[in-house]
C-alpha cells in the first residue's frame, strides 16, 4: 500500500523559494508601473479656455462629469478608453470622431467659406492636414493648469452639448436606457465636459512624444490617431517571448514527466476507507447552505445574461415590452457581472471551509456558528449591494450614491460600504479557515499543504483591498489601474491559485494524488501563473493613460500567461486518467462517485486553454488590442474564460462538496440533473461562441480597421448586416445554456442541499 502522505518532506525547498522570488520580482515591477500611473495619467486642467481666454469648462466640471458617469453606471452601457460595456458607444471615441468632423468644418468654413463636404479633393487634403496638426498639438500649460482649446474644439463642445443631452433624455436614443435616464441639465453639461477631456487625452500628444496619452488610441484617421511604432514592435517581441516560453516549458515537462496531477502514480484512500465513510463535521454540514445560494445566484445570473443578449437584437424592449423602464441595460449588466463574482466566490468560500475541516482533522468550537454568521453576512452584502445599485442609478441616494449605490467601475460596481462589508466578510472567512486548519500545522506530514491552503486564502482578502484605494474624483487612469489589480490579480491570479489548492485538496482527500505531488503542483502553478500574470496585468492598460514602458513589459509577460494554459490540456488528460484510478490497497475506485466533479475539472482544462489561452492571447497583442478592445472579441474571451474556467471550477467544487454529503442512493436522484447540466452548460457556451461571439467579434474587428473604431461601436453597425444576424443566432446557444445547463444544475444542487443524508458527527 502506498501512503498518500509519504515523501512530503523530500520536496525541495527551492519550489517554495522560487515561488517567493517570482512574487517579489513581479510585484516590484507592477508597483513601479502603478506609481508611474500617477505621473503619466492625463492631467485634469483647472480650466479649459478658448482663444480669447473665456472659460469653456473647468476642472470641477470634469470631475463632476466623472461623478455623473460613475453614478449612473455608464461604464455598464458603453465604455471609456475602450473599457466597459458594449451596447452603447465608446464615449471617448464617439466624442473624438464628432470633434474631428466639427473641426474639419470649422477650418473649412474659416479658410474657404464652405463646409468640408463641399470642398475639392485638394482643399480637403489641406484642411485634413491642418485638423490633424491642431488636434495633435498639446496646448495644456502645466504652470497655470490651463488647457487652451482650438476653435474647432470649442465648436465641438458647444455642438455636442445638445447632442449628448438628447442622447440621454430622448426615448430610444440610447439603446437599453429609458427616456430621461439623466434628467439634470447641469449633470449633462458636466458629463459632456468629461467626455471632452477624455477625448482630448486620446489625441493630444504627450509632451515630447509623437503619441497621445492613450498611445494614439482609438484608431481615428481624422484626428491623426494611428497605431504607434511601439504597438507594432512590442507585438512582434511578445510573439518571440511566447514561443521561447512554450519551448522551455515543454522541454521541462518532457524531461520531468511527473510534473502533473498524475504525480508518481495513484495512491490509496487517505483514511484507508472510501471517503464517503469520512465523518462530516457540523461546520461542513452548514456549508451546504452556501451551495444552495450558489445555485440560486447562478440561475439568476444566467437569466440576466439572456436579457442582456436580447438587448443587442431588440434595443427598445423584450418582444415588444419596454423593460428598460424598470430594468435598464446598465442595471441588468451590473447585476449580471456582480452575481457572477458572487456565486463563483461563494462556491470557493464554501468549498474552502468544507475542505479545511477535513485537512485540519478537528472541529474547532463554535465553528458551525461562525459559518452561519458568515452566510448571513454574505446574504446582507449580496442583497444590499444589488438593491443599492438599483437605487443609485435611479438617483435615489443623493450624495450617498458612491457609498451605498452604484460606484460605477465595471466589476466593482457595488457601493463603498458594501465593499467594506465584503472585505470584512472575507477577513472573517480567513479567520474561520485558520481555525479549521490550525490542528494540521502541528502535523509534519500535513504542515506544508495546509499552510499553502491558508496562504492562498490570505491572498483573497488582501488583493481585494486595492478596490478601496480610489474615489469618485480620482483620475480615471488611476481608477482603471487599481480596478485591474482586482480583476486580473484577484480573479485571474490568486483566485486561480486558490482554486488549484482546492483541486489538490480534493484529489488528495480521494487519495488520487500524494501530499508531495499535490504540494509540488501548487508551487508549479504558482510559479507559472505568477511569472507572466503579475506583470502581465498591464495588458489592460495599453491605452488607459499609461506610458509605453508598461506596453513593452505587459505585452511580453502577458504572452507568458499562455504557457501554463497550454499545459492545462495535459491536465485535462490527467483528469481523464485519474477518474479511472483505483486504490492500491483495496482496488476500489478512488473517485468514489465524484465522476462529475472530475468532468467539470476536465472542462476547466479545455476552456482554460481555449478561452484564456487562445482567445486571451488573441486580444492581448498590442496591435490587435488597439483595434479590438471593447469589441465583441472581448466578451468572447470573457465568457469562455470567466464561466468556462472559474465558473466550471466553482461548479466542480459545489458538486464535490454536495456529493460528499449524500449517500450513493440519494446521489442517484441528483446525478441525472448534474449530467444534463454539465453537457448543457458546455454545449451552450460553445454555441454562444461559435455562432456569435467569435465570428461577430471578427466582423466588428474588421469594421474597426476598415472604417474606424467609432464606426464599429455605433448602434447603426451593431443593428445591421451579418453582425446583427449572428446576434439573433446566438439565441440557440443561450437557450441551451439556460434550460439544459443552468436550470438542471440549479435543480440538482437544491435537491442535494435539501436531501443530504450523511449526518455530521457531534
The domains located in the chain, with CATH, are: 8-35+231-755 (1.20.210.10), 41-226 (no CATH)
Say how many Å lie between the first and final Cα of the chain, rounded.
Answer: 32
- Predicted pLDDT at 276: 45
Can you say whether the dihedral through the CA atoms of 751, 755, 759, 762 is positive or negative? positive
pLDDT of the residue at 508: 75
Instruction: Please choose, from the candidates 394, 403, 420, the residue with its C-alpha nearest in 3D space to the C-alpha of residue 472.
Output: 403
Could you give the CA distance from residue 286 to residue 439 in angstroms, rounded to a whole number? 20
Q: What is the dihedral of CA 645, 651, 655, 657, to 10 degrees?
A: 90
pTM for this predicted structure = 0.93
**Sequence-ordered alpha helix ranges (H) in 113-184:** 121-136, 151-169
- What are the two backbone dihedrals, phi and then psi, of residue 22, each rounded to the nearest 5 degrees? -60, -45
- Angle among Cα 23, 503, 423 to the nearest 5 degrees reads 60
Taking each helix axis from N to C end, the angle separating 329-360 and 367-393, rounded to the nearest 10 degrees, works out to: 170
Q: Which three cell numbers stand for residue 12?
A: 525541495
With 0-12 / 13-18 / 19 or more C-beta atoms within 10 angstroms meaning exposed / middle / buried, residue 458 is: middle
How far is residue 371 from each of residues 287, 289, 352, 760, measured CA to CA in Å?
Answer: 7, 10, 11, 15
SS3 of the chain: helix, strand, coil, percent, to 5: 70, 5, 25
Are 73 and 513 in contact by the 8 Å Cβ rule? The answer is no
Rounded Cα distance, 201 and 480, in Å? 15
The pLDDT, as a whole number, for residue 587 is: 52
* 3-state SS class at 589: strand
Residue 101 CA, distance from chain mean position? 35
Q: Please tell me the distance from the alpha carbon of residue 98 to that of residue 108, in angstroms, as a whole number.
A: 15
Mention every residue, 6+ apart, whose C-beta is less than 8 A from residue 341.
Answer: 411, 491
Q: What is the pLDDT of residue 2?
A: 33
Cell (9 digits) for 41 = 495619467
Residue showing cell 476547466: 604
Task: Classify residue 395 as left (phi > 0), alpha (psi -120 to 50) or beta.
Answer: left
What DSSP string runs through 342-379?
A: HHHHHHHHHHHHHHHHHHH-S--TTHHHHHHHHHHHHH
Q: What is the pLDDT of residue 271?
A: 38
What residues contact residue 17 under an 8 Å CB cut-off, 6+ apart?
none
> Average pLDDT of each block of 10 consecutive residues along the chain (762 residues)?
41 88 95 96 97 96 98 97 96 98 96 94 96 97 97 97 97 93 97 98 96 97 96 94 85 66 50 51 94 97 94 79 89 97 94 92 92 96 97 95 96 95 95 95 86 90 90 96 90 77 78 78 85 92 93 92 71 60 52 80 86 89 96 95 92 93 90 96 97 97 97 95 95 96 97 86 56
| Cis status, amide bond into 225, omega within 30 of 0 | no
Amino acid at each position: 500500500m502506498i501512503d498518500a502522505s509519504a515523501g512530503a518532506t523530500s520536496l525541495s525547498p527551492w519550489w517554495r523559494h522560487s515561488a517567493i522570488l517570482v512574487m517579489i520580482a513581479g510585484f516590484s515591477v507592477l508597483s513601479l508601473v502603478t506609481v508611474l500611473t500617477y505621473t503619466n495619467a492625463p492631467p485634469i486642467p483647472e480650466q479649459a479656455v478658448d482663444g480669447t481666454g473665456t472659460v469653456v469648462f473647468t476642472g470641477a466640471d470634469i470631475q463632476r462629469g466623472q461623478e455623473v458617469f460613475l453614478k449612473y453606471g455608464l461604464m455598464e452601457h458603453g465604455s471609456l478608453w475602450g473599457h466597459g460595456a458594449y451596447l452603447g458607444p465608446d464615449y471617448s471615441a464617439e466624442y473624438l470622431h464628432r470633434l474631428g468632423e466639427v473641426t474639419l468644418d470649422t477650418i473649412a468654413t474659416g479658410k474657404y467659406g464652405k463646409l468640408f463636404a463641399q470642398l475639392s479633393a485638394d482643399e480637403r487634403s489641406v484642411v485634413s492636414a491642418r485638423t490633424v496638426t491642431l488636434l495633435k498639438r498639446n496646448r495644456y500649460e502645466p504652470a497655470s493648469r490651463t488647457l487652451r482649446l482650438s476653435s474647432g474644439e470649442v465648436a465641438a463642445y458647444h455642438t455636442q452639448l445638445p447632442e449628448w443631452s438628447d442622447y440621454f433624455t430622448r426615448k430610444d436614443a440610447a439603446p437599453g436606457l429609458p427616456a430621461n435616464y439623466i434628467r439634470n441639465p447641469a449633470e449633462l453639461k458636466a458629463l459632456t465636459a468629461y467626455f471632452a477631456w477624455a477625448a482630448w487625452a486620446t489625441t493630444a500628444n504627450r509632451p515630447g512624444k509623437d503619441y497621445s496619452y492613450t498611445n494614439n488610441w482609438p484608431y481615428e484617421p481624422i484626428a491623426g490617431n494611428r497605431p504607434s511604432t511601439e504597438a507594432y514592435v512590442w507585438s512582434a517581441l511578445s510573439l518571440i517571448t511566447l514561443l521561447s516560453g512554450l519551448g522551455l516549458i515543454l522541454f521541462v515537462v518532457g524531461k520531468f514527466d511527473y510534473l502533473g496531477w498524475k504525480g508518481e502514480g495513484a495512491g490509496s484512500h487517505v483514511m484507508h476507507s472510501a471517503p464517503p465513510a469520512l465523518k462530516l463535521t457540523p461546520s461542513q454540514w452548514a456549508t451546504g447552505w452556501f451551495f444552495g445560494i450558489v445555485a440560486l445566484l447562478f440561475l439568476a445570473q444566467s437569466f440576466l445574461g439572456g436579457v442582456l443578449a436580447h438587448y443587442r437584437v431588440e434595443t427598445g424592449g423584450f418582444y415588444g415590452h419596454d423593460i428598460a423602464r424598470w430594468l435598464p441595460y446598465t442595471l441588468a449588466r451590473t447585476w449580471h457581472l456582480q452575481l457572477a463574482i458572487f456565486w463563483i466566490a461563494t462556491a470557493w468560500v464554501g468549498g474552502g471551509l468544507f475542505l479545511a475541516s477535513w485537512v485540519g482533522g478537528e472541529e474547532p468550537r463554535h465553528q458551525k456558528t461562525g459559518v452561519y454568521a458568515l452566510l448571513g453576512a454574505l446574504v446582507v452584502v449580496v442583497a444590499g449591494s444589488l438593491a443599492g445599485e438599483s437605487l443609485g442609478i435611479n438617483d435615489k441616494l443623493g450624495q450617498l450614491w458612491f457609498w451605498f449605490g452604484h460606484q460605477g467601475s465595471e466589476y466593482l460596481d457595488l457601493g463603498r460600504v458594501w465593499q467594506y462589508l465584503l472585505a470584512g466578510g472575507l477577513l472573517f472567512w480567513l479567520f474561520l479557515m485558520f481555525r479549521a486548519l490550525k490542528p494540521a500545522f502541528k502535523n509534519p506530514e500535513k504542515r506544508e499543504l495546509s499552510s499553502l491552503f491558508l496562504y492562498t486564502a490570505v491572498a483573497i482578502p488582501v488583493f481585494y483591498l486595492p478596490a478601496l484605494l480610489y474615489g469618485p474624483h480620482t483620475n480615471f487612469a488611476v481608477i482603471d489601474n487599481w480596478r485591474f489589480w482586482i480583476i486580473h490579480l484577484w480573479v485571474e491570479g490568486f483566485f486561480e491559485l486558490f482554486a488549484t489548492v482546492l483541486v489538490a485538496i480534493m484529489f488528495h482527500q480521494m487519495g488520487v494524488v500524494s501530499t508531495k505531488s499535490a504540494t509540488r503542483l501548487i508551487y508549479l502553478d504558482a510559479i507559472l501563473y505568477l511569472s507572466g500574470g503579475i506583470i502581465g496585468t498591464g495588458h489592460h492598460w495599453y491605452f488607459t493613460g499609461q506610458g509605453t514602458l508598461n506596453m513593452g513589459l505587459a505585452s511580453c509577460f502577458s504572452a507568458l500567461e499562455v504557457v501554463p494554459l497550454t499545459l492545462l490540456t495535459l491536465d485535462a488528460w490527467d483528469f481523464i486518467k485519474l477518474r479511472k484510478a483505483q486504490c492500491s490497497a483495496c482496488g476500489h475506485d478512488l473517485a468514489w462517485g465524484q465522476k462529475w466533479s472530475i468532468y467539470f475539472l476536465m472542462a476547466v482544462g479545455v476552456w482554460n486553454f481555449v478561452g484564456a489561452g487562445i482567445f486571451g492571447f488573441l486580444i492581448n497583442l498590442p496591435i490587435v488590442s488597439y483595434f479590438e478592445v471593447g469589441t465583441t472579441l472581448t466578451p468572447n474571451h470573457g465568457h469562455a474564460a470567466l464561466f468556462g474556467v472559474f465558473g466550471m471550477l466553482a461548479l466542480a467544487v459545489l458538486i464535490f462538496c454536495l456529493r460528499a454529503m449524500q449517500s450513493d442512493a440519494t446521489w442517484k436522484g441528483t446525478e441525472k440533473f448534474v449530467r444534463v447540466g454539465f453537457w448543457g452548460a458546455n454545449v451552450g457556451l460553445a454555441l454562444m461562441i461559435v455562432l456569435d461571439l467569435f465570428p461577430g467579434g471578427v466582423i466588428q474587428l474588421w469594421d474597426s480597421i476598415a472604417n474606424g473604431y467609432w464606426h464599429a461601436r455605433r448602434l447603426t453597425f451593431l443593428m445591421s448586416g451579418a453582425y446583427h444576424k449572428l446576434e439573433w443566432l446566438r439565441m440557440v446557444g443561450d437557450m441551451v445554456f439556460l434550460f439544459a445547463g443552468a436550470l438542471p444544475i440549479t435543480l440538482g444542487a437544491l435537491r442535494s442541499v435539501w436531501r443530504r443524508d450523511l449526518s455530521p458527527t457531534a
